[in-house]
Structure 1
Amino acid sequence: MGNGKRHMERVAIGQTIRKIREAAGFSLRELAALSEVDHADIARIEKAETNAGLANILELAFALKVPPEDFFTGDLKKIKPSSK
Structure 2
Amino acid sequence: MTLEALGIPVYSFLIFGTLAVQSTYSALTADPAFGFSNRDGAPPGMRATGLRIDRTLGNLKEGAIMYLPLARLAVNLDISNGWT
Scaled to the shorter chain, the TM-score interval is 0.3 to 0.5
**RCO higher in structure (CA 8 A, sep ≥6):** 2
Larger Rg: 2
